[in-house]
Structure 1
């Protein structure tokens, strides 16, 4: 079987496994529920609400301004036609996850793509969340930028910027890619500047997409801080020092204050683990002098550590394609000795089994409306 076809089978089987877990939860529920209900908890409700009613400026729903409009804009016309938004969102995520996996295949090979598809938090690339759609735009933008095809890369980056605030970090990382792009020895400074400028000017397109959304929020509310205000009101994302953010996360894990929130200690433990994975990747990429890839992860770690606590880092690992490229390289490394190959296959099998098990455990948490990051 060709590597591409193998990744396609992983995509299909992983999506079917997530569907099967949702069906099991529906069957075993203590009260009447449906498939569309179990895949529509947490942020899905906000995306569907925006697609249906737009952005409220008063009341509790005003916190929906924290969500960028890309996914709701895709959902809205189908909902207007009478189609269930939950199912449309699942289809969008299914297609987008396949597109993102194809880009990751280009960036890191079949193991990188396959392990991303069965990542522990893969449920967020299955339900109507923004992770799959953002990755489809961002991963292919990176592929095209590496090939020095900047105008299509800029358009895809603009698409990513309509989906998540992470698009701002993508613009910055691509800008660093431009600045660190190798040039022939002896290239004059003027030529270097012109080369940088010819590429960087394309990044004005995605920057304009971000500005357009913040301008829209200003038009709605009269405030340039409407987005940050919504983040703070809805998810307690107030500014904090990294030490305070980490200590408050540890307090959720070991302190008594959240004993009435079952499962929070486990999920926030994973937040710390995910943060550590990001730090490890930054160090790995620093050593390899992959500055743009390093910046893509590092700037997100900084942003997470400046919040009241570490939240949603688990989901962000799906966006960190350099992590999956690193893992893919390790999994596909060739060993000359029989013992080395045996250890590698054991490692591959263990990773797949554990990752799938955690993926399904995480999915059932989401389907039961438990806190799942």
Structure 2
């Protein structure tokens, strides 16, 4: 259980925000005893996590046999092949060969734009590969361990906001059964990012700014979203700092920017381009800046204009719907004066919503922990909402898992 010191409680009190059901709540103080570090609630959450992992692995096994690439084959292929899709190839290439192997790079016409991916996950993959020889198994192991840390941290974050004893478990349930939850079980970077970002958020609420900044810096090595997290942490600091000693910790908040600066410097040293990361995003994923209404219009045309194949048109429909969910969430957080959380979501939406078209917004919802806490609050108040969510999310999560595991959807 997260514990906030009496001093931190006194410092956050002057904000006097109206109670709305999403404000962080100070945990009851108490002396630590010889209790195990994992409480019964934590073990329940890990059991739920293991069950959902087993469900995804079972789905992958079935998909390999029922939906092979060649309908006439009698061999389903390697057991881990369903997890070797899309972005996994970029992470693998970076971990195995580096960013610019044998002088190859963006100056070649067939370049894969791998520098669009931050180095945190590939570095972790290369380190684990020293112990686990199979690359895909190493990637899955990273996400498996990181996902377990993430769900435990998410439950603790939820208990800061919601008074119900079921809040932590319910929030984790909603995340693990969400439509794009399969990406928490693949060799992607979402689980590792959450395993760093959520403990950083907890550390900030304990006013442990050195730890929060360090974890946010590590999160930035994994995804650009770490900079959005850093902005939210900075805003939380400004709203809660009261004493001279508090303000003395302000320089720590610059730390999360360091990985992004070092990565830009590394890419410049090899390409001569300080904006090499952004230009790789533009070449590979059409992430050139466009006005938000232009991005919406292009995505709408791709979703409903019969210009894409049906599978990709469906993907763009999901992008549009998820953008609306994100905008509603941002508006709700602003209305409830949850300024740091609103900043994190708004920056994410701006980055995702100002490209040529929307890409990967559904998958980005996995990183929006205020969304899952908000939905948990509603589900705890309304059993009908909880039932409706599970009835809709369960088939969608299965469908999205199958489309990813069979290579039919980019995510």
Task: Report the equivalent of 2:385.
Answer: 347
Shift of residue 100 of structure 1?
0.9
Deviation at 1:360, TM superposition (A): 1.4
TM-aligned CA deviation for residue 281 of structure 1: 1.0
Query: Match of 2:84, SS?
Result: coil
SS at match of 1:129: coil
Shift of 1:328: 1.5
- 1:199 Cα deviation from its structure 2 partner: 3.0
Shift of 1:262: 3.0
Show the 5 A alignment for 1:113-124: 113-124=172-183
1:64 aligned onto 2:118: no
1:33 Cα deviation from its structure 2 partner: 2.4
Extract unaligned runs of 5+ from structure 1: 184-190, 334-343
**Cα pair 1:178 1:199 within 8 Å, conserved:** no
Q: Aligned equivalents of 1:271 and 1:198: distance in 2?
A: 42
Contact 2:192–2:222 (Cα < 8 Å) also in 1? yes
What's the counterpart of residue 59 of structure 2? 21
Deviations 1:179-211 (A, max 9, x none): 12264xxxxxxx5xx456423311222211111
Q: Write out aligned runs for 1:218-233 (5 A).
A: 218-233=268-283
Residue 290 (structure 1) aligned to one of 338, 341, 345: 338
RMSD in angstroms over aligned alpha carbons?
A: 1.8
1:44 maps onto 2:94 in alignment? no
Q: Distance in 2 between matches of 1:87 and 1:139?
A: 25
Query: Given the superposition, is the C-alpha separation of residues 82 and 351 from structure 1 closer, same or farther in structure 2, using an over 3 Å criterion?
Result: closer
Query: Would the alpha carbon gap of residues 117 and 82 (structure 1) be closer, same or farther in structure 2, given more than 3 Å must change?
Result: closer
1:163-178 → structure 2 map (5 Å cutoff):
163-178=222-237
- 2:332 alignment partner, SS class: helix
Cα contact 1:176–1:292 (8 A) shared by 2: yes
Deviation at 1:225, TM superposition (A): 1.3
Partner of 1:306: helix, strand, or coil?
A: coil
**Is the Cα contact below 8 Å between 1:110 and 1:328 reproduced in 2?**
no
Structure 1 position 352, deviation (Å): 2.3
- d(CA) in 2 for partners of 1:204 and 1:179? 14
* Count of residues in Structure 1 that have an aligned counterpart in Structure 2: 352
Task: Note the 1:322-361 alignment, pairs <5 A.
Answer: 322-333=370-381, 344-361=382-399
Asked whether 1:160 is paired with 2:208, we answer no
More helix per residue: 1 or 2?
A: 1
Which residue of 2 is the match for residue 188 of structure 1? Answer: none
Q: Is the 8 A contact 1:120 1:359 kept in 2?
A: yes
Structure 1 residue 2, shift from structure 2 partner: 4.8
Post-superposition Cα deviations, 1:208-241, rounded to whole Å, max 9, x if no partner, equal 1111111111111111011111001111111101
Gaps in structure 2 of 5+ consecutive residues: 1-38, 159-167
TM-score of the pair, normalised by structure 2: 0.82
Q: Which runs of 4+ in 1 moved over 4 A?
A: none
